[in-house]
A = this chain, B = another copy of it.
């Protein structure tokens, strides 16, 4: 019944033989066009044009043009409101510092105690830099609204939880945050390319994210930051790099921020990784985010039904209500680490997050219903045959 919602885009990716990849929520697959784009960037643009390529190949404009493209494809954000660069953690710091300056009489950053650790760390680093009187307060995501007060300067939340795939009601929370006069910052790391996002409708001041997950831009692909278009004039960036200056090559000793989101550029952009993102975005041409969402939920529904039926001991850690899920499904399992190693050894790649979460990402551009059924077949054997008990699956590596 759900077969027909598959999106026929597998042919746009280089897929390893015999592998079912359910980890595109961590590192997306390689789109076919990326290698050639990079070769051209290196051999022609860098190799032949050298320094002239900053103009002739348009390198200087990539952070803005890619930002505009993300805005159009995924964020419903106007041109000029998104800038691509650096990493998600840096973008979190930029949004947080800006928000604190916008509410100089307030002292609290409020976040989800289960937020992705790097978001919390960046907030901790900023609090320590700001000094006495400032603090980071964390509560479970469900308690955010009741923890709001007029001490809160900024609320930093990740829409889709990295462990459970739980999706927050972003529109309702943004309204509540803004009702107490605080600034809303959404981390969309697990949202872009996974669930429909509409920043214009949402109305939050800031959003940040990365591009190496569902956007398939490769390992260490750049992050992005969105700023609501009425705000930039009041925002003096804390990370005031020359590429964010109104006129970088005037070599003015005083910093003057560039227009709109351009002020969040910092140093020289990683051109090759920018070109990888550019090529990776081509696979999204003509994809409706509603179709994608429908395909994603069909995949995760099939997975949940089949795993619960065939894999005893695995307990659903994701919300059962599809509207409250992103594009991943997690199960708790006491032997989760070893079971995931066994699964990987059998050609099905998901990942593990401490303490006991087996995590499976559904990326409808290159995963279909047949893949999900095949993955559950393997998982069933791992569980029912107790493959996770074998010694070779017990040793922990640092990244899983």
Q: What is A's interface to B at a CB cutoff of 8 Å?
A: 14, 16, 19, 21, 23, 26-27, 29-30, 34-35, 38-39, 42-43, 45-48, 50-55, 59-60, 86-90, 93, 97, 101, 113, 116-118, 120-122, 124-126, 128-131, 138, 210, 212, 218-223, 236-243, 245, 248-255, 266-274, 276, 344, 349, 351, 353-354, 397-400
Contact = CB atoms under 8 A, between A and B. Distances in A.
A155 to B, nearest CB: 17
Contacts of A210: 267-268
B253 A138 contact: yes
A319 to B, nearest CB: 20
A125 B240 contact: yes
A282 to B, nearest CB: 15
A354 B241 CA distance: 19
A93 B266 CA distance: 11
Contact of A212 (B236, B241, B268): B268
A239 B93 contact: yes
Contacts of A249: 354, 398-400
User: What are the 4 tightest A-B residue pairs by CB atom distance, in nearest-first order?
Assistant: A87-B267, A125-B240, A118-B242, A220-B270
A60 B30 contact: no
Nearest to A42: B35
7 contacts: A21-B50, A42-B276, A51-B349, A55-B398, A86-B86, A87-B268, A121-B255
Contacts of A254: 120, 124
Contact of A219 (B19, B23, B46): B46
A30 B48 CA distance: 9
